[in-house]
Structure 1
Amino acid sequence: MFPLYDTIPSLRKPVVNYIIIWLNVLVFAYELTLFLDEELLYSFFHTFGFVPERMFYAFPVIQVITHMFVHGGWSHIIANMWFLKIFGDNVEDAMGHFKFFLFYITGGIFALFFHVIFNPFSPYPLVGASGAISAVMGAYFVLFYYSRIVSLVFFILPFIVEIPAVIYLFLWFVMQVANGMLADITGTGVAYWAHAGGFIYGVLVGMRIKKKRYWF
């Protein structure tokens, strides 16, 4: 189920969402200049990605933030930025520009440490915005559960269908948990637990916002 767009237009221009997307694109554009030199690219990922095992001898403070803006390839950044574009504008609408920015960063940090809980001794750098974007999706799940996600579904032949957001995002979350459990056994390069952790954080923040919205 690949999302094409949602059915709720944003009321205000999602300025922060656009800025975050462009920052990721600019960093990836720089990465492209390193792709022909494997040593430089390896050094870049280990310098700005978060390597869990380093916590035990030199905590990587800067990388807590920088890892969110580094991506491992074309499919990685395109998928992440597409999901952020679809879900981020409405969440920014609900929170306001500055609070959305803080939420995005803290969501990425929460997702990072959720990943570290399951991979504390990993020597591989965690990179990508997917943890923070998962937090955005979690908040969307709570705040815009009534929306519909127009999606491209592949079943023998591809077709387009509107899926209730509450169902689409719930299934997405279940898949992250299931894949995370499977990855613990087989091993994979995808940080499924970061996705799950980010989503949980987004749900908690979304519930808090929703409670305040309807508090009399």
Structure 2
Amino acid sequence: MFIPLHDHNRLVHVPLPYVNLAIIAVTVLIFLVFQDAGEQQAVAASSYSFGLIPVVFFDLRDLAPQLQVLPEWTSVVTYAFLHGGFMHLIGNMLFLWVFGDNVEDAMGHLRYLAFYLVCAAAGGLAYAVMDVNSEVPLIGASGAVSGVVAAYLMLHPRVKVWVLVLGRIPVRLTAVWLLGAWILYQVFNAITAADSQVAWIAHIGGLAAGAVLVLVLRRPGVPLFDRNLA
């Protein structure tokens, strides 16, 4: 649909959103080093060892011993730090780069880290619960990033965001229209896209978690819906 580039939204409470930057750095490093920059065998091995596989998560089937690295329950978070290719990685990290810093600013460093991990877990659980017998590993930060998008929209719907529409046309849009359309797109695909390779339901789980968590994790006095703007 679009590629986010920049938002006109200054930080108020934190001089440097180092948790958001660290999440991006760790995710990119894992992809480049641990997943051999998207090499097929490395991606496959990491997906089965650290991705979220519903049938394994619910103890309905065991992984091969050589693939068992961490307890199964940890995969509800570890999957979010893996990606299947450069475009998968870049898309998620761009959203996190543009929108994550202001969510961290609204919450504080530690609460933002907890927020990100819980949104990842919510997205993963939504995917697993919807198909407990699935043997397909879920990987990617989309569930967590969806939570960030939901929180940003509730905090800053009136902020202007520069995006590339269709990957080439620069447009400046208000966040409520931009991210609102993005959320509707996720919901539409979650309902209609059968047998898709994209885990749309994980996005919905992350969105729901982000919308709820921002209500309780934002700093005291931080308004919703840009109520502090004239």
Contact 1:90 1:140 in 2 (8 A): yes
Structure 2 residue runs without a partner (length 5+): 63-70, 224-230
User: How far apart in 2 are the matches of 1:44 and 1:210?
Assistant: 34
Choose which of 205, 210, 215 in structure 1 pairs with 2:213.
205
Q: How much does 1:125 deviate? A: 0.4
Q: 1:173 to 1:213 in 2, by over 3 A?
A: same
Q: Which residue identity lines up with residue 86 of structure 1 in the other structure?
A: V
Query: Which residue matches 1:35?
Result: 39
- Alignment-derived partner of residue 50 in structure 1: 52
1:70 pairs with one of 57, 82, 99: 82
Cα shift at 1:148: 1.5
- Count the aligned residue pairs: 209
Poorly superposed stretches of 4+, deviation over 6 Å: none
Residue 98 of structure 1 aligns to which amino acid in structure 2? Answer: L
Question: Is 1:124 paired with 2:136?
Answer: yes
Question: 1:136-171 deviations in whole A, cap 9, x for unaligned?
Answer: 11110111112111111239xx43222111111111
Give CA-to-partner distance per residue, 1:28-61, whole Å, 9 cap, x none. 012116726x3x5422210000001111436821
Whole-angstrom distance in 2 between the partners of 1:91 and 1:214 = 11
Give the structure with the higher percent helix.
1
Aligned to 2:99: 87
User: How far apart, CA to CA, are the structure 2 residues paired with 1:136 and 1:110?
Assistant: 12
Of the candidates 113, 117, 137, which is equivalent to residue 149 of structure 2? 137
Give 1:209 deviation, angstroms: 4.8
Does the 8 Å CA contact 2:123/2:204 hold for their aligned counterparts?
Answer: yes
Residue 178, structure 1, aligned to residue 188, structure 2: yes
Mark the CA change 1:207 to 1:47 in structure 2 (over 3 Å): closer, same or farther. same
Which of 8, 20, 24 lines up with 2:23 in the alignment? 20
Contact 1:104–1:135 under 8 Å retained in 2: yes
Structure 1 211/43 Cα, relative in aligned 2: closer, same or farther at 3 Å?
Answer: closer
**Deviation for aligned residue 1:21:** 0.5
- Aligned-partner SS, 2:73: coil
Give % identity: 33
5+ residue gaps, structure 1: none
Asked whether the equivalents of residues 143 and 210 of structure 1 are also in contact (C-alpha less than 8 Å), the reply is no
* Amino acid across the alignment from 1:7: H
Opposite residue 14 of structure 1, the aligned amino acid is P
Q: In structure 2, give the amino acid aligned to 1:61.
A: W
CA distance in 1, matches of 2:39, 2:218: 44
Q: Kindly tell me: are residues 178 and 13 of structure 1, through their superposed partners in 2, closer, same or farther at Cα, counting changes over 3 Å?
A: same
When normalised by structure 2's length, the TM-score is 0.83
CA distance in 2, matches of 1:190, 1:47: 20
Q: Distance in 2 between matches of 1:98 and 1:211?
A: 12
CA distance in 1, matches of 2:222, 2:93: 31
Post-superposition offset of 1:9? 2.2
> Post-superposition shift, 1:64?
1.6
What is the alpha-carbon root mean square deviation over aligned residues?
2.2
